[in-house]
Amino acid sequence: MKAYSIDLRKRIVAAHQEQKLSIRTTAAIFAVSKSLVQKLVKQQKIEGNVQPKPRGKPRYSHLNNAETELREIVTAHPDATLRELCELFAHRTGNWVGKTAICSALQKLGLNRKKKRSGVAKQGQKE
């Protein structure tokens, strides 16, 4: 569900505070829930605004500031699989990350995971 507009939020708080309406009456007038009115009034008192909060959990990864460690691991072990890279990263930093996270981090760093074959012709191609 989309957040209520800031204008509506301000009008709800203003109606409750300036017109001295109860929370239930304010909720009925604006056709919103009582808990929304309570939340907006409390937010206005504490924070001084009625801006909507960001949705969802903040995402954190142990790979955010570990570019140098990851580059060094890949340089030292160029033929390691994603699972092996996960284990090497965990051994080096003490933080376990999944294969998907390692793969995404490698893509962001521009490190190609495809193995190069030397002297082997691909099927369908002329030598």
User: CA nearest 81: which of 109, 115, 34, 107?
Assistant: 115
Q: 105 and 71, same structural domain?
A: yes
Q: Which domain holds residue 32?
A: 6-47
Q: Does residue 53 lie in a domain region?
A: no
Q: Residue 57 falls within a domain, yes or no?
A: no
**Structure pTM?**
0.49
Structure tokens at 48: 């001084």
Task: Report the alpha-carbon distance of residue 111 to residue 75 in Å, rounded.
Answer: 10
Question: Does residue 119 belong to any structural domain of this protein?
Answer: no
Q: Rounded mean pLDDT of 60-78?
A: 86
Is residue 54 a part of any domain in this protein?
no
> pLDDT-based confidence at 88, cuts 50/70/90?
very high
Tell me whether residue 98 is in a domain.
Answer: yes
Q: Is residue 62 part of a domain?
A: no
- pLDDT tens digits, 110-123: 887 666 555 555 55
* 117 in a structural domain: no
Based on the structure, what is the number of domains in the chain? 2
HSE-CB at 76 with a 13 A cutoff on CA atoms is 11
Q: What is the pLDDT of residue 113?
A: 64
